[in-house]
Structures are given as C-alpha cells and as structure tokens.
C-alpha cells in the first residue's frame, strides 16, 4: 500500500468517526418518525435528487415499483414526502420532500454541525487556519 493510499484511508476513517459522533442523536431524531432504513434511503434519495419520478427511485434502490410505492406511502403518511402527478404525463408520480422533511434534514444537519463545531473548538488557531485553507482548496473548482 502506498503512503498516499494509507493517508486517504486514514482520513476517510477519521471522517466517518467524526460523523458517527452525532449518530446517537441523529438516530433518535429519525426514530421519532418511526421510519425504517429502507425508508431513510428513499427519503435521502428524494432529498438529494429533488423532484423524482417513482420509477427512478425504485431503480435507484434496486426494488420493484410496487415495493417503492409502499415505502413512499409510509413516508407520505409521516409527512416527509409528497407525491403528485407529473403535469406532462399523468401516469408518472413525482416525489418531493415536504417542509416537514426539510425540517428533519435541518435537525440532522444541526446535530452534525454542532458535533463538528465541538471538535473544531479543540484545535489551535494555527490548526484552524490550515484546515480552512485545505477545505477551501477542496471546495474550489478543479482546473482542467
């Protein structure tokens, strides 16, 4: 294993550990909605991709459309997803995240940000400056 590969693996492991710090609180927020892992996956897909046709969700999750319908119905019942007809094709159902779903994402993001802030507070000013420079470089557009 090359030094670069080892460093990339270790950084990835540290990132996962940092995200996992808030997992108990995140899980608690998700449990308040009484949703399964498959429903979380569906919700996350719709959130990440915006307005999504039901078939695209089923394909992405690797499930049959009738199974996706059941999963989505439970998310609709919990107020996290809304389903409506596509104005261009009434046979197609479009899924989108509701305001309540956005609020759940905001709650989860707040937990992650608070835990990240706690970790950042432990760094010196110089470490924070270096980390800022690195993150800014990672977030800048790549030159071709």
83 within some domain: yes
20 within some domain: no
Assigned token pair, 68: 């996706």
Q: What's the rounded Cα separation, in Å, for the pair 118 and 80?
A: 29
- Least Cα distance to 72 among 31, 41, 104 occurs for 41
79 within some domain: yes
15 within some domain: no
Collapsing DSSP to helix, strand or coil, 35 comes out as coil
Residue 66 has a pLDDT of 93
Is the pLDDT confidence value at 142 over 80?
no
40 contacts: CB under 8 Å, gap ≥ 6: 30
Q: What's the rounded Cα separation, in Å, for the pair 122 and 108?
A: 22
Classify burial at 52, counting beta carbons within 10 Å of its beta carbon; exposed 0-12, middle 13-18, buried 19 or more.
Answer: buried
5 within some domain: no
Give the pLDDT confidence of 31-79 residue by residue, as tens digits. Answer: 777 888 899 999 999 999 999 999 999 999 999 999 999 999 999 999 9
**What is the domain count for the chain?**
1
93 contacts: CB under 8 Å, gap ≥ 6: 53, 54, 83, 84, 85, 86
Give the residue numbers spanning the domain of 82. 35-137
124 within some domain: yes
Q: Is 78 left (phi over 0), alpha (psi -120 to 50) or beta?
A: alpha
54 within some domain: yes
Specify the CATH number for the domain of residue 117: 1.10.10.10
Residue 35 has a pLDDT of 87
6 within some domain: no
Q: What's the rounded Cα separation, in Å, for the pair 25 and 111?
A: 7
Quick one: what percent of the chain has pLDDT higher than 70?
99
Collapsing DSSP to helix, strand or coil, 122 comes out as coil
């Amino acid at each position: 294993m090359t030094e670069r590969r080892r460093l990339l693996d270790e950084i990835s492991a540290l990132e996962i550990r940092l995200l996992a710090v808030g997992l108990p609180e995140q899980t608690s927020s998700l449990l308040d909605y009484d949703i399964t892992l498959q429903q979380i996956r569906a919700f996350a897909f719709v959130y990440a991709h915006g307005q999504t046709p039901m078939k695209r969700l089923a394909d992405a999750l690797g499930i049959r459309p009738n199974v996706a319908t059941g999963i989505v119905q439970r998310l609709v019942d919990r107020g996290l997803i809304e389903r409506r007809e596509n104005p261009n094709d009434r046979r197609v159902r479009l899924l989108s995240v509701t305001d309540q779903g956005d609020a759940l994402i905001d709650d989860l993001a707040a937990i992650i940000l608070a835990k990240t802030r706690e970790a950042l507070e432990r760094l010196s000013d110089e470490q924070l400056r270096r980390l800022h420079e690195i993150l800014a470089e990672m977030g800048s557009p790549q030159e071709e």
